[in-house]
Amino acid sequence: EPRVVIIGAGIVGCAVADELTARGRTRITVLDQGPLFETGGSTSHAPGLVFQTNPNKAMAEFASYTVEKYSALGAFDLVGGLELAAAPDRLAELHRRQGWATSWGIEARVLDPAECARLHPLVDADRVLGGLHVPSDGIARALDAAAAQAAAARERGAVFHGGREVLDIAQQGGRVTGVVTSDGQIPADIVLCCAGIWGPKIARMAGMALPLTPLAHQLAWTNPIPALAGAATEAAHPILRHQGADLYFRERFDRLGIGNYGHEPLPVRPEDLGENAISAFTEEDFAEAWHETRWLFPAVKDAKVEEGINGLFSFTPDGLPLMGPSRELEGFWVAEAVWITHSAGVARAMAEWMTGEEPVTQARECDVRRFEEHQRGPAYVRARDCQNYVEVYDVLHPLQPMEDPRPLRTSPFYPREQALGGVFLEAMGWERPQWYASNAPLLQGREIHEPGEWAARYWSPIAGAEAQVTRERVALYDMTSLKRIEVSGRGARDFLASMTTARLERGPGSVTYCMMLDEHGRVLSDITVARLGEEEFQVGANNVLDADHLARHAPETVVVRDITAGTCCIGVWGPRARELVQPLTEDDFSGEAFRYFRCRRAVVGMVPVTALRVSYVGELGWELSTTADMGLKLWDTLWEAGQEHGIIAGGRAAFNSLRLEKGYRLFGTDMTSEHDPVEAGLAKGPAGGPAPARRLTCLTLDEVVMGKEPVYAGGDPVGYVTSAAWGHTIGKGIAYAWLPSPLTAPGTTVQIGYFDRRIPAVVTEEPLFDPGMERLRG
């Protein structure tokens, strides 16, 4: 059994110790520089509000487990949560949040003002338009929860030391061997960093840059408020949020606690941190919050702020925690940037991960190795972390790109895309055209379906025209941001076969779609493997984690290189794609010589390319990739020759619509590691095997939804939407949704919860477009 040292006895360190010992691990030492368990870390200062609702499914599940566990430990006040709206856009947002909660299995209801006022003595029905009530939200008594989990861990053999500072991480040959403390060295096979805001300092000892920034956040308490007088318990009423003013509230007997995110971000450099996660209350930053509080709650008008702190906790570039093993030092793990709200759920996932069990929740999105190189630089991290502090309660559209730093990563085609009036959104730092303004004339004579106001943001009818023209003529799609990984060298084939569901028996020139698996045979990602030579492959993957996974497991003779940034890729798709490309090359691109799901090296014009005959949009054509230096030449060559074929450039909005018409799944969105390929509709189950309990199902409807909406049948929530778009060829709205198998028969009617409405949707046979694959195989 490996010896584990956990650094930090805040709520996260204690929770992981508990979950690990519950799984039979006993050789665990937990160290904290402060006294146990009021260590001075963030946990010591948090008011412990737990609002479970989150757009992210894994986060909501982490939170739900926290409620369940801390309730069982007697460290949770189940008072409910009430999020208040004082403006129409905020009321609409509460309906959207109600949808997320429902999608992830959390009971939630939007209440009218009178119902809100009945739930809480401070709420004034004249000030609010409504509220989102989640009965299972409440207050975690964080120090009690930490102590209770530590006690359970101790009982099973874990050892806790307070007043013991970790000064260094001992290592040998790229492996952790222990920690150096203020009281001598402790040997360890695994070191888990749960040091909260001090995490980056510890991580640096392990040679790792942890993308996290400690930010000061204000928490103040009033004097006694008559409307709360006579409270028999510390907290009797729901915890409150007023996101429109960046505020949250809880009571402590007859006093009101006010949390404020409304001030300018106040980052603290890790080297400036003391031993306490607190700094002096900056009154001037609280003025607006106090004004808003007294407006919202007239009963608080005459109260005073009695005490306040600027407490420190962690923010990350994408708002998610940092979990898992480090890339830099074997045996060094982190569980960082975790709220009280998610602490038990994160700890359970960590323990499962560290002991190699089946994870109950989907922790991959929180994997600390998910960031690209540029996302780990200090300037980027600080800018994004501060922005996430500002946006913590904002209404964020699912397509809303980061505003700054932009542009950051651009493909070689960027100048041409700009010249065509590209309207850019952003993904992993890449500028990506959503549609092109110069395509506006395509609208002439076309009727493009107009979505509702919310779905029409970051959208233009031009995207619909681009989608239609792709099916009529030929279009260029910039696919540069998609992960391309080169895998080559002696044993490359056997290596890839061992990492995926593919057998790779087909020789050079083949393309195989398959699943990448982890050590336990669970699906990590879906990939396409193009075999360019005997031992030479180009892998199309989803993210940096995929590249990392391959690199980590490659035998010595196999080279794995993430070539995404050094190369570029164009999708040339549409019925005229062959007429366009063939005259540009001496290689044979005919239907007989270059069949569907084949690949080869070729020269197009003067540009050496790797050509894959695949298409995410379901049309004839190729993905052509080349080195970045030749990118412009490739674009110009295709563009010029394409003029006589009516070529256009198409954006991501058109792309997404086309891919859903063809039923192509997006890993991470439509399915994740918690799903298997059979239920996701990517593989056939064994003949006579059990039918899956749920299925990713194609729905059609008369409107456009966005994804993550709940699906109801007979009034009850039964599943949730993953991806959605308008199908501009089929003339219908499309939504893919996870549904229980009995509801997946074509013709079944369900309802999609969209803001405050229920939209009827019908289960439909898929794919919706070209089921005979005539277009692709043409």
Q: How far apart are CA 621 and CA 611, in angstroms?
A: 10
Using the minimum distance from each CB to ligand FAD, give the nearer residue, 240 or 620.
240
Of 129, 122, 389, nearest to 260 (Cα)? 389
CB of 398 to ligand FAD, least distance (A): 24
Q: Tell me whether residue 320 or residue 550 sits nearer to ligand FAD (CB atom).
A: 320
Question: Please, what is the minimum distance in Å from the beta carbon of residue 210 to ligand FAD?
Answer: 12
651 contacts: CB under 8 Å, gap ≥ 6: 422, 423, 432, 433, 434, 435, 436, 463, 466
CA quadruple 278, 282, 283, 289: dihedral sign: negative
3-state class (DSSP) for residue 204: helix
With respect to ligand FAD, which residue has the nearer C-beta, 279 or 510?
279
Amino acid at 646: G
- Residue 90 buriedness (CB in 10 A; 0-12 / 13-18 / 19+): buried
Q: In the Cβ-directed half-sphere of 651, how many Cα atoms lie within 13 Å?
A: 29
Structure token pair of residue 405: 């730093």
- What is the number of the residue whose Cβ is closest to ligand FAD? 10
Residue where the block lists tokens 């009818």: 461
For residue 606, what are its two tokens?
Answer: 């003067």
Please state the closest distance from residue 273 (CB atom) to ligand FAD, in A. 9
Q: Find the shortest distance in angstroms from Cβ 235 to ligand FAD.
A: 12
Smallest gap from Cβ 313 to ligand FAD, in A, equals 4
Closest distance between ligand FAD and the C-beta of residue 198, in Å? 3
Q: Is 217 one of the catalytic residues?
A: yes
Closer CB to ligand FAD, 88 or 274, in the complex: 274
Interface ranges with ligand FAD (CB under 6 A)? 7-13, 31-34, 39-43, 45-49, 165-166, 194-198, 202, 217, 219, 259, 277, 311-313, 338-341
**Of the candidates 545, 543, 420, 408, the residue with the CA atom closest to the CA atom of residue 478:** 420
Cβ 149 vs Cβ 343: under 8 Å: no
Toward ligand FAD, which CB reaches closer, 197 or 425? 197
Task: Find out whether 631 and 588 touch, Cβ atoms under 8 Å.
Answer: no
Q: Which residues, at least 6 apart from 445, have a Cβ–Cβ distance to it below 8 Å?
A: none
Cα–Cα separations (whole angstroms), residue 435 to 421, 438, 636, 653 = 8, 9, 19, 7
Between residues 58 and 620, which has the closer beta carbon with respect to ligand FAD? 58
Cα–Cα dist 143/233, whole Å: 18
Joined together, the tokens standing for residue 202 give 């510890």
Helices (H), 174-226: 199-205
**283 or 765, CB closer to ligand FAD?**
283
Nearest residue to 778 (alpha-carbon basis) of 605, 610, 595, 623:
595
Pairing relation of β-strands 4-7 and 28-31?
Answer: parallel
Cβ pair 54, 60 in contact under 8 A: yes
Contact present, 642 and 580 (Cβ < 8 Å): yes
By C-beta, is 198 or 667 nearer to ligand FAD?
Answer: 198
* Pairing outcome for strands 213-222 and 255-260: antiparallel
Is 553 a residue of the active site? Answer: no
Q: At its nearest, how many Å lie between ligand FAD and the CB of residue 180?
A: 10
Check 120, 217, 675, 728 and give the catalytic one.
217
| Contact call for residues 533 and 489 (beta carbons, < 8 A) | no
Which of 32, 45, 242, 248 does the annotation list as catalytic? Answer: 248
Cβ–Cβ under 8 Å, residues 331 and 189: yes
Is the torsion defined by CA of 142, 146, 152, 155 positive or negative? negative
CB of 231 to ligand FAD, least distance (A): 19
The neighbour count for residue 777, using CB atoms within 10 Å, is 13
**What's the distance, Cα to Cα, between the start and end of the chain in Å?**
58
* DSSP code string of 36-78: SS--SSGGGT---EE----SSHHHHHHHHHHHHHHHHTT-EE-
To ligand FAD, the closest distance from the beta carbon of 61 in angstroms equals 15
Task: Please report how close the Cβ of residue 277 comes to ligand FAD at its closest, in angstroms.
Answer: 5
The two structure tokens encoding residue 407: 């542009």
Q: Residue 131's beta-bridge partner residues?
A: 84, 111
246 catalytic per annotation: no
Query: What's the min distance (Å) between Cβ of 278 and ligand FAD?
Result: 7
Rounded Cα–Cα distance for residues 624 and 616 (Å): 13
Q: 32, 318, 367, 526: which one is catalytic? A: 526
Q: Give me the phi and psi of 55, to 5 degrees please.
A: -65, -25
CB of 51 to ligand FAD, least distance (A): 8
Residues ≥6 apart with Cβ < 8 Å to 516: 499, 500, 523, 524, 525, 526, 527, 541, 546, 549, 550
Three-state secondary structure call for residue 487: strand
Min dist CB 312 to ligand FAD, Å, is: 6
What distance in Å separates the CA atoms of residue 263 and residue 630, rounded to the nearest whole number? 47
Token representation of residue 59: 């986060």
Hey, which residues are catalytic here?
217, 248, 526
